[in-house]
Amino acid sequence: MSEVKRFEKLLAVDKSALLIIDIQERIIPVINQHETVIENTIKLIKGFKVLGVPIFYTEQYPKGLGPTVQTIKEELGDDEAIQKLSFSCSGAGELFDMFKQKNLSQIVVCGIESHVCVQQTVLDLLANGFQVNLAADAVSSRRVKDYEIALARMRTHGTEVTTTESILFELLNVCATPEFKQISKIVK
């Protein structure tokens, strides 16, 4: 019997990381569907913790945009934000090098704004050989049109555009495990 192949871009726990981009106090109120972005980001954080997958998060010019939203910060715990002035996270210190050193090739991205920091980061990740899985229900912009065009552009250049729940179940791979039960409760 021949071996059944799996799609090579399916997420794997040992190759993945979550990157949360700039979900900060002073900009979040003007973001379209911001409650959904926060809710799904928290689901991703909880799920990634259950699975032991690394989580990184950035803050764009915190002096002007404030710190990360409190409910997200509480879920992240003691981890420190990677602060940046560049729109792309490629300018956030040694972040991309850290991914490479830890053999993390599949980066799950969420955050704001879709058409600025998220899009520039995603395109730079792709240019540096990373697979990007974008949680479309955990990213947004102030304007719907900017969000829609950004997602289309990122998809055109090879981004895997998906959802929070898809990402978590893809990382799980199988059911009937303690992790499955925990993830199932998180996504409800």
Task: List active site positions.
Answer: 22, 84, 117
Q: Is 73 exposed, middle or buried (0-12, 13-18, 19+ CB in 10 A)?
A: middle
Q: Helices 178-187 and 34-51: crossing angle, nearest 10°?
A: 170
Tell me if 54 sits within 8 A of 18, measured CB to CB.
yes
Tell me if 49 sits within 8 A of 79, measured CB to CB.
no
Residues forming beta bridges with residue 109, ordered by sequence position: 19, 134
Tell me if 5 sits within 8 A of 43, measured CB to CB.
no
